[in-house]
Amino acid sequence: MKLENYYERIDQYHAGELSTGDRQSFERELGSNDELRKAEELYRLSLSALDYGVEESLRSDLKKWEQEGNRATSGGRIISLRRGMFILSAAAAVLLLVFFARPFLMPAPSSDELFASYYEAPTESSMRGGAVPQNALTAGKTALAEESYADAVHGFARIPEGDPLYVEAQFYLGHALVGLKNFSAAKKAFEIAANSNETKFKEKGEWYALLACLKAKQWDAACDSKLKTIAQNENSSFVKEARELLKKMK
């Protein structure tokens, strides 16, 4: 499509410079000439990309420059500055559309990609602490830090329900199960921590249970509701991450 073949008529039509008969003829042709219609749509798109006040001023200046250019040049084809500006502004409009539409045109990230974006395995330093340096969880934490996930699972699974260390053991058991790629079991372990009254592991358990739910392809209405609850809780340690995740999942 050669825009310059249509530019003068399109510009005159939008500027109100056509006679009534010419305007009606132009509008009839719009209905039958696909190339003219596409050129006219691109013209309107280019105008929307420019500030209206600037466009009106530019229109006047370009007409004057074109007239001066035609008087100053003898022979040969004159490439209209107005026509060139239209083409440039149309290209700019397309680029603007691509830039702003890109987030909507790109496919949503997969559940695997979302999990990888937010999951953080516990480090050895983060698993230290507490008044007692050695306890029933020490062997499991050491194995987890060394990525010996099967040994870690064995160590954490030894802590029985009702033991003061049970909730903590379940939280780290969830991470060990993630290491073994058993995400469904990891989700259940994290949920035990999430449903506990232990502040230190409750929030973390909720967040990692959601991530495991994503990775296990088990996302459902309950997971969605929990994520929204975290995103609305200004006091949550994961409010920022939850809001980001919500946006990415739309």
Check residue 56 and give its pLDDT.
54
CB of 193 closer than 8 Å to CB of 174: yes
Q: What is the CATH number of the domain that holds 189?
A: 1.25.40.10
> Which two three-digit tokens encode residue 9?
């008529």
Q: What is the pLDDT of residue 53?
A: 45
Q: Are residues 169 and 207 in the same domain?
A: yes
Domain stop point among 105, 123, 144? 105
Residue 196: its pLDDT value, please? 95
d(CA 26, CA 140): 80
pLDDT at 102: 53
- Helical H segments across 33-106, by residue range: 34-48, 52-72, 81-105
Gyration radius of the chain over CA positions: 32
Residues 213 and 157 in one domain: yes
pLDDT of residue 26: 87
pLDDT at 8 (0 to 100): 78
pLDDT score for 165: 94
Same domain, 67 and 183: no
Task: Say if residue 44 is in the same domain as residue 58.
Answer: yes
Q: Mean pLDDT for each 10-residue chunk of the chain (250 residues)?
A: 67 81 88 83 64 50 57 47 55 55 63 94 79 74 94 94 95 96 96 95 96 94 94 94 89
Q: Which of 78, 105, 132 is the last residue of a domain?
A: 105
Q: With beta carbons less than 8 A apart as the criterion, state whether 137 and 172 touch.
A: yes
DSSP class of residue 5 equals G
- The domain of 119 spans 111-249
94 and 121 in a single domain? The answer is: no
